[in-house]
Amino acid sequence: MKQLTRISTTFALSALALSIAATSHAVTNEEILRDQQTPEDILSYGMGLNGQRFSPMDSLNKANVNQLTPAWAFSFGGEKQRGQESQPLIKDGVMYVTGSYSRIWAVDARTGEEIWQYDARLPEGIMPCCDVVNRGAAIYGDKVFFGTLDAKMVALDRETGKPVWIKKVADYQEGYAISAAPMVVDGKVITGTAGGEFGVVGKIVAYDAETGDKAWERPTIEGHMGYIYEDGEAVENGITGGEANLTWPGDMWKNGGGAPWLGGTYDEATNSILMGTGNPAPWNSHLRPGDNLFAASRLALNPDDGTIKWHFQTTPNEGWDFDGVNELISFEYEEDGETVHAAATADRNGFFYVLNRENGDFIRGFPFVDKITWASGLNDDGSPIFTEGGRPGNPFGDDAEDGKGETVFAQPSFLGGKNWQPMAYSQNTGLFYVPSNEWSMDIWNEDVTYKKGAAFLGAGFTIKPVNDDYVGVLRAMDPHTGEEVWRHENPAPLWGGVLTTAGGLVFTGTPEGYLKAFDDETGEELWRFNTGSGVVGNPVTWEMDGEQYVSVASGWGGAVPLWGGEVGQIVKDFNQGGMVWTFKLPSSAGNADVASR
Amino acid sequence: MLSWNLIMYPSIHKSVRAASIISLAVLFSLVSSKAFALPEDIHKSPMWQYNIERYLGTDADVVHTDQVSLKVPDFAEDSAQVPLTIALDRFEGDIRSIVSWVDLNPVPHLFSYQPHQQAPLTLALNFRVQQATTVRAAIQDENDVWHIASAHVDAAGGGCTAPSVTASNPHWSDQLGNSQGRYFSRPASNRLKLSIMHPMDSGMVENVPIFHINEIQIHAVNNDKTMDEESLLGEMSLSESASENPLFVFDFAGDDSNQYALRLRDTQGNVFKRILGDT
């Protein structure tokens, strides 16, 4: 046989390998920063990196929303119909939507036809605490990014769905997972990690979007070293909190939790990633006297190197599983003739906080739920005024029996006055629309020791509803006065995100299966549609071919059916699903104003 | 493409310009290649013509060959692991590319191999069979003629849709990509042998997404370990018909190369690299 010495030009290697010409253009950082102002696309979780979930579109409005009609629906298929907490993205007429079990689809936004699907091949040993959810993807350049339940970050070619790179963010066997949507800031893909129930140390990691090379890594718990990466080498970049044992006793910081499992937002004005951290581990706070920084906190980080600029801890020495992960939404307001660069968050612990996002200073705070048992209010610096006897009893104290501390009644429950489901801020009304819940719990503490990959709680609990006829409350909150402007009660707990628009509308879903639209000033329900399974996803709206569209993922699941205790009775007959629904006005009804714009 | 050339045909008569000569040449090659009749399949497979058109094209010039030995067992003891050996050392042409398929599998394509610096003398791997079937290897020579070697394997079947052994191992992800490899220097050739832990999920088992190695590069790296276009001996694309925990064998003509690198990538983007040979 003759030897070949030529270097052949690349030939179609496989008859199956199709090369598809690029037709969509690369997404730039500037486009992502302008996301909120460009209704024809949705490039980020939060419909803008500030996380406001506010659309400037008004062609769909209070007058015509009652005619909103399905345009298409798309099934996620398979037998993997679990909680669908995703937020779709839209670019160049393509929807990118994620689903349970770390799956992602590209769908034709005009027809609902599938373009490609990517299923992560998950190991059997994944340890998601609270259902196998995924909350969404990020777009940058010619790629789409999402995190997986085995704690990997995947970059896919937007056109083909083929992987470009995949990186292990953390070890899933320690309990790490990724359920949050990543964000892209200045060419870096930034993700948090979940796993606080397993005693992992929370960390935030950034990758170069093009290459997948790690850029930096920031642990969230005091005492752990952060790193930046230069030419693939880890370079020390300062210990989180300065040093160990300032606010943690002994070795407890080594498995201190603080998982930033919900990702974050980005504020361009201060060039800060604003990300919250979960509960300190274990749940039993008597094992870790001290504030336990930076668990149950909001952090402002430099996106270039992951250094922490400031922190605000909502629940020091947290002992009720009041994670501090909830989204911190940047907004501006005028006071005494000056613009205040503020940020607001509705915490699991039942308090609503307004912070100065330039330095993390507390501006004001107030309860957004009907009752808070564990604290009687907030001090001038925003720290809670703890109620005596509000904390579960010490299992090592005099009152302990059979290794169990005294059981206490606490409200809100550990699933929080508000959980992961993001609120929305209207630039028109200046109100925050908060998907909240009224529930309580009995909770007690017991001893626990850390074991890799095992639950690290040291607590027992059961959730109970506090009202006969409702748990969920969609609230319009005034961030200046703390006034609840209106409320809409729902029998089942609210577990889906909120969207608000310049058309005077507030959208959210219910576990009963409805996507609903409300009047942003009165709370009057203007429209509802039954999607066939519980809506725990994030509704979005965008413009295509001169018409305003609304989409939401449907599929009941999430933490409530797994952890809901007696609330489980309310939701036990809700069926699972896995769909994305897309709505618009009939072409003849009320789009004249769009055409004339 | 063909019809377009036919429409252009009258213009060639009007002016004999360079461009037209090229068109004419293209036209003749297309027309003439169409004239090649597909030889009869000695195994009488119902998929003979269909798979040739699918993987080699509708205009492929196809001949049977006895210069290539394609070895499979008469009967597949294990339908999920059927050894295939393709010996190319007696092939007399230049090898442009190699395509192998399993006629009656749900996804018949097994692999395509693209030589760069050097074509292999032997290529072996295991594949799955869904039912008794004919197996093909098509070798494209420097004149774009496809030389086809065929063999039949009898089987109980089910190899493509049975759950993988790996999937029943809860710790498979710890062992993913673990490999054993050796380099053998032989009188006439160098042999590379690599087995790698990978579930190679076909996507045809309920609730298990497709997950298999789909790209392999073989480099002659010698001592500098740089893997680039210069060092690339060949590339292989693998499809769903390849077996779980695959074992690959490649023989290359003996020359100065004493160190080889294999780079494997799977459908989820995981990359596995292995250096074989003298270190």
What part of B 70-89 touches A (C-beta under 8 Å)? 88-89
SS3 A333: strand
* Residue in B112, B170, B239 closest to A125 by CB: B170
Average pLDDT, rounded, for chain B: 86
**Tokens 């897309």 found at:** A582
8 Å CB contact of B173 and A15: no
- Residue A153's contacts (CB-CB under 8 Å, 6 or more residues apart) are A145, A146, A147, A166, A167, A169, A178, A182, A189, A191, A205, A207, A212
pLDDT at B34 over 80: no
Element (H, E) at B217: strand B213-220
What sections of chain B are H helices per DSSP?
2-14, 18-35, 48-56, 172-175
Which sign does the torsion angle of CA A290, A294, A296, A299 carry?
A: positive
Report chain A residues whose CB lies below 8 A from the CB of B96: 8, 11
Report chain A residues whose CB lies below 8 A from the CB of B269: 154-155, 163-166
Report chain A residues whose CB lies below 8 A from the CB of B88: 1
Q: Which two tokens stand for residue B249?
A: 């064998």
> Which residue from A430, A466, A198, A225 is spatially nearest to A332, judged by alpha carbons?
A430
CA distance A576 to A513: 10
8 Å CB contact of A11 and B95: no
Asked if A416 and A567 count as a contact pair (C-beta separation under 8 A), the reply is no
Report chain B residues whose CB lies below 8 A from the CB of A164: 269
Give the distance from residue A72's alpha carbon to the nearest chain B alpha carbon, in angstroms.
26
Chain B touched by A11 (CB under 8 Å)? yes
Mind listing the pLDDT tens digit for each residue in B66-105? 999 999 999 999 999 999 999 999 999 999 999 999 999 9
Chain A touched by B228 (CB under 8 Å)? no
**Tokens 């009007």 found at:** B14
Q: How would you classify the pairing of strands A540-544 and A525-530?
A: unpaired
CA distance B240 to B245: 13
Count CB-CB contacts under 10 A for residue A78. Answer: 16
Report chain B residues whose CB lies below 8 A from the CB of A1: 88-92, 95, 119, 121
Q: How would you classify the pairing of strands A498-501 and A54-55?
A: parallel
Give the distance from residue B77's alpha carbon to the nearest chain A alpha carbon, in angstroms.
29
Task: Name the more confident of B36 and B40.
Answer: B40
Q: What is the DSSP string of A498-555?
A: EEEETTSEEEEE-TTSEEEEEETTT--EEEEEE-SS---S--EEEEETTEEEEEEEE-
Asked if A301 and A272 count as a contact pair (C-beta separation under 8 A), the reply is yes
Mind listing the pLDDT tens digit for each residue in B112-137? 999 998 899 999 999 999 999 999 99
Which residue out of A9, A13, A165, A171 would a mutagenesis test of the B interface target, given it has the greatest number of B Cβ atoms within 10 Å? A13
> Which residue from A165, A146, A259, A160 is spatially nearest to A212, judged by alpha carbons?
A165
Give the distance from residue A120's alpha carbon to the nearest chain B alpha carbon, in angstroms.
7
Burial group, residue B77, by CB count within 10 angstroms (0-12, 13-18, 19+): exposed
Count CB-CB contacts under 10 A for residue B168. Answer: 9
pLDDT at residue number B167: 75
pLDDT at residue number B12: 35
Asked if B150 and B136 count as a contact pair (C-beta separation under 8 A), the reply is yes
Closest residue in A to B205 (Cα) is: A78
SS3 of B237-273: EECCCECCCCEEEEEEECCCCCEEEEEEEECCCCEEE
Q: Which two tokens stand for residue B67?
A: 């210069």
* Residue in B119, B207, B268 closest to A120 by CB: B268
> Which residue from A52, A424, A55, A49 is spatially nearest to A268, judged by alpha carbons?
A49
Q: Which two tokens stand for residue A92?
A: 């160049």
What part of A 109-148 touches B (C-beta under 8 Å)? 119-121, 123-125
8 Å CB contact of B269 and A78: no
Which sign does the torsion angle of CA A292, A295, A300, A306 carry?
A: positive
What part of B 12-41 touches A (C-beta under 8 Å)? none
Q: Phi, psi at residue B82, to the nearest 5°?
A: -115, 120
- The angle, 0 to 180 degrees and rounded to 10, between the axes of the packed helices B2-14 and B18-35 is 140
Encode chain A (597 residues) as per-residue pLDDT tens digits. Answer: 444 433 333 333 333 333 333 456 899 999 999 999 999 999 999 999 999 999 999 999 999 999 999 999 999 998 778 999 999 999 999 999 999 999 999 999 999 999 999 999 999 889 888 899 999 999 999 999 999 999 999 999 999 999 999 999 999 999 999 999 999 999 999 999 999 999 999 999 999 999 999 999 999 999 999 999 999 999 999 999 999 999 999 999 999 999 999 999 999 999 999 999 999 999 999 999 999 999 999 999 999 999 999 999 999 999 999 999 999 999 999 999 999 999 999 999 999 999 999 999 999 999 999 999 999 999 999 999 999 999 999 999 888 888 999 999 999 999 999 999 999 999 999 999 999 999 999 999 999 999 999 999 999 999 999 999 999 999 999 999 999 999 999 999 999 999 999 999 999 999 999 999 999 999 999 999 999 999 999 999 999 999 999 999 999 999 998 888 899 899 999 999 999 999 999 986 544 444 443
Report chain A residues whose CB lies below 8 A from the CB of B55: 15
Q: Which two tokens stand for residue A127?
A: 């340890």
CA distance A438 to A418: 9
pLDDT at residue number A23: 54
What global pTM score does this model have? 0.88
CA distance A298 to A471: 27
Q: Phi, psi at residue A203, to the nearest 5°?
A: -145, 155
pLDDT at residue number A207: 98
8 Å CB contact of B118 and A1: no
Asked if A207 and A167 count as a contact pair (C-beta separation under 8 A), the reply is yes
pLDDT at residue number A274: 98
pLDDT at residue number A79: 75
Chain A touched by B165 (CB under 8 Å)? no
8 Å CB contact of A4 and B267: no
pLDDT at residue number A10: 34
Number of H helices, E strands in chain A: 4, 40
Angle at A504 between CA A483 and CA A41, to 5 degrees: 115
Give the distance from residue B211's alpha carbon to the nearest chain A alpha carbon, in angstroms.
6
8 Å CB contact of A11 and B96: yes
8 Å CB contact of A4 and B211: no
Report chain B residues whose CB lies below 8 A from the CB of A16: 109, 237, 239
Closest residue in A to B68 (Cα) is: A1
CA distance A554 to A575: 11
Mind listing the pLDDT tens digit for each residue in B235-265? 999 999 999 999 999 999 876 677 899 999 9
> Which residue from A506, A496, A490 is spatially nearest to A65, judged by alpha carbons?
A506
Q: How would you classify the pairing of strands B145-155 and B75-76?
A: parallel
Give the single-character DSSP code of A250. Answer: T
Cis peptide before A392 (omega within 30 of 0): no
What part of B 96-155 touches A (C-beta under 8 Å)? 96-97, 99, 109, 111-112, 114-119, 121
Burial group, residue A37, by CB count within 10 angstroms (0-12, 13-18, 19+): exposed
8 Å CB contact of B96 and A1: no
Asked if A152 and A205 count as a contact pair (C-beta separation under 8 A), the reply is no
8 Å CB contact of A8 and B115: yes
Report chain A residues whose CB lies below 8 A from the CB of B217: none
Q: What is the DSSP string of A79-135?
A: S-------B-EEETTEEEEEETTTEEEEEETTT--EEEEEE----TT---SS-S---
Q: Phi, psi at residue B8, to the nearest 5°?
A: -75, -15
Out of A321, A323, A347, A520, the active site residue is A321
Give the distance from residue A26's alpha carbon to the nearest chain B alpha carbon, in angstroms.
21
CA distance A463 to A416: 11
8 Å CB contact of B119 and A78: no
> Quick one: how far is CA A428 from the chain centroid?
24
Active site residue A321: yes
Report chain B residues whose CB lies below 8 A from the CB of A17: 237
Q: How would you classify the pairing of strands B61-64 and B145-155?
A: parallel
8 Å CB contact of A125 and B173: yes
Name the residue type at position B121.
L
pLDDT at residue number B25: 44
8 Å CB contact of B269 and A154: yes
pLDDT at B19 over 80: no
CA distance B92 to B73: 26
